[in-house]
């Protein structure tokens, strides 16, 4: 009986260690979200609204971007004021953001936007889950 209890406890401890290792590995594989930030100064509102906005919305939907902020009210609390229009788009991770920005559809849409606005586009990695 003593031997059975020892083997059983050994298997329990080994199983717990294996489970903990698996959870740690899965947690380590979780990639943090990434955010695309765009600062926009519109030069031609009519062209920007009619040509660029529908095209860029479609592209972001296709490549997996989720709009979190889209040109609402901006307020400066310290330092230089922000551009008049700020856009914040969330992606699953930095690799997906980079792939989206490198896609032909995105480059084409951004080129259209550059005809009607000055844009500063950059990404930032969020916190890991």
Distance (Å, rounded) from C-alpha 126 to C-alpha 78?
22
- The string of pLDDT tens digits covering residues 98-124 is 999 999 999 999 999 999 999 999 999
- Taking alpha carbons only, the member of 81, 83, 75 closest to residue 40 is 83
Write down the pLDDT at residue 30: 86
Distance (Å, rounded) from C-alpha 128 to C-alpha 27?
9
Q: For residues 117 and 8, which has the higher predicted lDDT (pLDDT)?
A: 117
86 contacts 42 by C-beta, under 8 angstroms: no
- The string of pLDDT tens digits covering residues 12-64 is 566 665 665 555 555 556 899 999 999 999 999 999 999 999 999 999 999 99
């Amino acid at each position: 009986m003593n031997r059975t209890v020892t083997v059983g406890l050994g298997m329990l401890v080994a199983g717990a260690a294996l489970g903990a290792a698996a959870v740690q590995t899965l947690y380590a594989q979780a990639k943090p979200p990434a955010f695309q930030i765009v600062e926009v100064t519109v030069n031609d509102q009519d062209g920007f609204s009619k040509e660029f906005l529908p095209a860029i919305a479609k592209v972001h939907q296709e490549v997996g971007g989720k709009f979190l902020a889209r040109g609402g009210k901006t307020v400066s609390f310290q330092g230089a004021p922000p551009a008049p229009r700020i856009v914040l788009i969330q992606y699953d991770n930095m690799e997906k953001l980079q792939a989206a920005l490198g896609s032909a559809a995105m480059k084409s849409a951004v080129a259209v936007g550059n005809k009607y606005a000055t844009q500063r586009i950059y990404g930032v990695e969020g916190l890991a889950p």
